[in-house]
Structure 1
Amino acid sequence: MIALGSAALAGETRHQRVLENGFSFHRSEWMQSERGPGLSPTVFLVEQPPNAVLAPHFHTQNQFQVVKAGSGTLGAHAVGPGSVHYAGAFTGYGPLVAGPAGLSYFTIRAVYETGANFLPAARGRLRRGPKRNAHGPVHEPLSIETLRGLESVRQIPLIAPQDGLEAYALQLPPFSRLEPIEARGSGQFQLVLAGALETPQRRLQAWESRYLSPGEDAGGCLAGASGVHLLVLQMPAVALEYSTG
């Protein structure tokens, strides 16, 4: 399957939410699919207010987070625009602390799930199995001027490949071809940081994305007239311990 993220959808779905623990934020949906237990890719944006703290928690599915704007910390790590974080299923992480200008970040999952399990209250819901956190460096989107001046494709590693997990950035000059990238594990997300990506389905602008399930044809894509700065996020398969029972 191929699923596309949309800024228009985000504008239609942005709303305020308040969790049971009192944490208040705005959320918008950038990619929606069926809410089934199989591949059901979702991308949503959390807008965390200035100095707000999201307590440590875990989820039941593998996920990436990509910072869109603002600054803050995730655990002991400073984060800013373009930062990539990976948390495996049933792996605690946090707290997420927004800086004085707030913090907004995408949560990206190949399988839909309902919400956070806050620690230590939800410790009893943790399951035995592999635990994994991985952090990439701050990786700010290139300016359009810099993109237009590129003379060759650049690849920047962000999270080293291991057991199906990988994250890296591609910077492509205007109108250059995106070589097909095989989707593995639970699939691959491509997120535009700057410029535009021309896909067989439609053009993807800054912060829009697409999802490719394993075996899907990834060809036929070109950088736009100003080039493209693209994140490639390979989502590992859910560990066997968490995919059964």
Structure 2
Amino acid sequence: MIAVGSATLARDTRHHRVLENGFSFHRSEWMQTGSDPQLSPTVFLVEQPPHSVLPAHFHTQNQFQVFKQGSGSLGSRAVGPGSVHYAGAFTGYGPLMAGPQGLSYFTIRAVYETGANFLPVARDKLRRGPKRHAHGPTHEPRALEQLRALKAPVRAELIEADAGGPEAFALQLPPFSELWVPAARGSGQFQLVLAGELNTPERRLQQWESRFLSMGEHGGTCSAGPQGLHLLVLQVPAMAAEYLPVR
């Protein structure tokens, strides 16, 4: 399975939401593929107002978060443009606190999920199994002038892979150069354009648009656009056996 995200979809779906606990935010869908419980890659953007707080919570799916704009903190860590965070299924994290300019971030999952389980109220819904967090260093989108000046590809490790765990790395490519990334593994691979353009067999992807490849997919021949490319690659690990449905 290959899916692509779209800025047009995001513009058409941006809406305001208020949760039962009073948390108010805007949400836009950047990738929608349905709600299949096995594979339904999803990317959406959350926009938190200045000084707002999203309380600590957990989800039932593995997920990445990539911070787009603004400033704030996730737990005890400062976050800003380019910060990457991973939280495994049934792993509590937060609170997420927005700074004076607000805070926006992409939530990225290989399987659709709606809602959040807030702690400590939902503690009884936690399940026994591995709990995993991972934080990458801030890695801001590069200016197009920097990408155009590149003479060779540059790779930055953000969350280093280990056995069965998440992985995040960024690639900077000179204009028109060919993209090579390892095949998708685990629950699949997301490619998020931080700057420049990515030419794919499906279509041209621009800043903040994304692409998903299911396990084993290579995705065909892809290349950087005329301004170069700054690409974030996220490998989503497979769901831990403890959290799989009993058959």
**Do the structures match in fold with TM over 0.5?**
yes
- 2:169 maps to 168
TM-score, reference length from structure 2: 0.98
Partner Cα separation in structure 1 for residue 103 and residue 119 of structure 2: 21
Q: CA deviation at 1:165?
A: 1.3
Answer whether contact 2:2 2:219 (CA < 8 A) is retained: no
Partner Cα separation in structure 1 for residue 136 and residue 166 of structure 2: 12
Deviations for 1:148-170, whole angstroms, at most 9, x for unmatched residues?
00110000000010224100100
- 1:193 maps to 194
TM-score, reference length from structure 1: 0.99
Partner Cα separation in structure 1 for residue 165 and residue 186 of structure 2: 6
Q: Does 2:203 align with 1:202?
A: yes
- 1:83 maps to 83
Any residues of structure 2 matched to 1:31-50 within 5 Å, and which?
Answer: 31-50=31-50
Answer whether contact 1:179 1:219 (CA < 8 A) is retained: no
Unaligned runs of 5+ in 1: none
Unaligned runs of 5+ in 2: none
Deviations for 1:118-156, whole angstroms, at most 9, x for unmatched residues?
000000000000000000011100001111001100000
Any residues of structure 2 matched to 1:7-46 within 5 Å, and which?
Answer: 7-46=7-46
Answer whether contact 2:18 2:24 (CA < 8 A) is retained: yes
Greater alpha carbon shift after TM alignment, 216-225 vs 77-86? 216-225
Partner Cα separation in structure 2 for residue 57 and residue 51 of structure 1: 18
Q: CA deviation at 1:219?
A: 2.5
Partner Cα separation in structure 1 for residue 142 and residue 114 of structure 2: 34
Partner Cα separation in structure 2 for residue 164 and residue 39 of structure 1: 18
SS at match of 1:161: coil
- 1:96 maps to 96
Answer whether contact 2:177 2:223 (CA < 8 A) is retained: yes
Partner Cα separation in structure 1 for residue 92 and residue 181 of structure 2: 34
- 1:225 maps to 226
Quote the sequence identity (%): 72
Q: CA deviation at 1:87?
A: 0.1
Partner Cα separation in structure 2 for residue 80 and residue 137 of structure 1: 10
Partner Cα separation in structure 1 for residue 199 and residue 170 of structure 2: 17
Deviations for 1:172-226, whole angstroms, at most 9, x for unmatched residues?
0000000142100000000000000000000000000000001223221000000
- 1:125 maps to 125
Q: Does 2:48 align with 1:69?
A: no
Q: CA deviation at 1:244?
A: 2.1
- 1:5 maps to 5
SS at match of 2:33: coil
Partner Cα separation in structure 2 for residue 131 and residue 143 of structure 1: 36
Letter of the aligned partner of 1:221 in structure 2?
C
Answer whether contact 1:52 1:97 (CA < 8 A) is retained: yes
Paired positions, count: 245
- 1:179 maps to 180
- 1:54 maps to 54
Answer whether contact 1:173 1:228 (CA < 8 A) is retained: yes
